[in-house]
Amino acid sequence: MNILSKLMNTLLILPAVNVYLLYKTGLPFQLVLFSIIILFMIAAVPVRGRCGIKSTRLRQCQAGVELLWAFLLSVSITAAVRLYLLLAHMHMLDWKEWILDLLVVILAENIVFWSGMVRVYIVSVQLAVRWRVIAAVCGWIPVVHLVVLGKVIRIVSDEVKTENDRILLNEQRAMERICSTKYPILLLHGVFFRDFRYFNYWGRIPAELEKNGAQIFYGNHQSAVSVKESAEEIACRIHEIRKQTGCEKVNIIAHSKGGLDARYAIAKLGMAPFVASLTTVNTPHRGCEFADYLLEKIGPAQQNMVAKAYNSTLCRLGDTCPDFLGAVEDLKADACKKRNAELFEAEKKIAPDVYVQSIGSCLKKPSGGRFPLNLSNRFVRYFDGENDGLVGRNSFEWGHSFIWLEASGMRGLSHGDMIDLNRENFKGFDVREFYVQLVSDLKKRGF
């Protein structure tokens, strides 16, 4: 903590000290008011250059954290001093002065609290909507609001440390360009999503790869059509990238259904000579028995109603001819089994030329995932065993090698966690660094 921070924290406890001095030594009330004016000036001005923190946003987060800590400290001291005065010197108190001084102290504490809280609310990413709402609601409940405030402080403090350490790590290895693969990276999204400009399907992963030298492209294919139709779009996209960059091949990293689309394009549409490697992430290579169950339980009328609503909406968002039911049908276990048999000979033939690896993860308990994966995890477990909230473990493995991921602790890794969908940091797994090392390995393999 720098000198300015120490000075700020010292001044923050002055209201409590002055309350005591006011009644023990008769110091004038103006001293308290003068202290509050100084406090306001310090609390209202952004603090810069904090402890080697490399980002302006993170410095603001840290300033907010320090102000909130100072608030907790000064409130504790003020409460203790006032309790002592009430118990030991009640007969000596001037109640008019007491109440007036209390109002000034309350004003001071509010200045400190809101200066810190507004900072973290505005600039923190990890606080997310959930904890912002919880803090707003619980802020009116005695004792509970202090517990929640402690949680807010911890979340933002961890964010500052994690993000600053990542900045420092990238600075240290910048010259190595560990993700500068021979061939560019083509990222393929899964079903029901698109490559939107303002909401990246892959979260913070592409930016992290680019900081370490990777050249990133996106599939730009529709959100929901059959595997065959998606594969045709991907084949066209590969040719576009080759023409744009002059590269001979691409490295494909595909999530969920994107892995099925990529396999079809490579094996059936002649893309094998133009693909150096394929990495499938949480892809249902053997389908989802849970999807079979849902389609059996939902009648044709309901299916068509949902499909019509979805297709209509996605047409407005950029899809040319979305096919909700075609996409879902191709994820069924029976459909995947039939397609695997269809691709078997072609994939066996090109296996020496295209390096294929797969990745899967496990969501250990429903509460570890975000909606709707927190709801589906238990149901998928009944049909498919260990799963990521959508896809069972037995369906993930494909190709030359398989990586199974389980974060430490009780949380686990969901289908969405594997693409940083929620931009969430949590202990036990750093998704951005995982992809950096994944692409770094492709570079080492000569791809």
Q: Per residue in 394-414, pLDDT tens?
A: 999 999 999 999 877 778 898
Tokens 């066996």, located at residue:
348
Two tokens at 275? 């693909």
% of the chain at pLDDT higher than 70: 81
CATH topology of domain 177-444: Rossmann fold (3.40.50)
Considering the chain, what percentage of its residues have pLDDT values greater than 90? 45
- State how far the Cα of 327 lies from the Cα of 321, in Å rounded to an integer: 12
The residue extents of the domains of the chain are: 3-169, 177-444
pLDDT at residue 101 in the model:
67
Phi and psi at residue 201, to the nearest 5°: -55, -35
The residue among 207 and 312 whose pLDDT is bigger is 207
- Is residue 246 very low, low, confident or very high in pLDDT (cuts 50, 70, 90)? very high
Q: Pick the more confident residue, 198 or 69.
A: 69
Tell me if residue 425 falls in helix, strand or coil: coil
Lowest mean pLDDT among 22-26, 175-179, 180-184: 22-26
Q: Residue 3's pLDDT is what?
A: 43
With CA atoms as reference, report the closest residue to 188 among 97, 123, 267, 279.
Answer: 279
Structure tokens at 86: 């009430």
Q: Provide the sign of the torsion angle of the four alpha carbons 267, 359, 392, 380, taken in this order.
A: negative
pLDDT reported for residue 225: 92
pLDDT surpasses 90 at 215 = yes
Residue 320 pLDDT:
86
Higher pLDDT, 224 or 313: 224
Mean pLDDT of 196-205: 86
CB 27 within 8 A of CB 18: yes
298 has a pLDDT exceeding 80: no
Amino acid symbol at 154: R
Give the mean model confidence (pLDDT) for residues 68-81.
77
Q: Return d(Cα 235, Cα 296) in angstroms, integer.
A: 33
From the list 400, 394, 370, 399, the residue with the least C-alpha distance to 380 is 394
**Number of neighbours of residue 87 by Cβ within 10 angstroms:** 8
- Provide CB contacts within 8 A for 221, sequence distance 6+: 188, 189, 230, 233, 234, 237, 261
Cβ–Cβ < 8 Å for 18, 32 = yes
For residue 382 the two structure tokens come to: 């009944």
**CB contact at 8 A, 284 and 256:** yes
pTM: 0.85
Indicate whether 226 pLDDT > 70.
Answer: yes
CA distance 259 to 284: 8
Q: Which two tokens stand for residue 341?
A: 């048999």
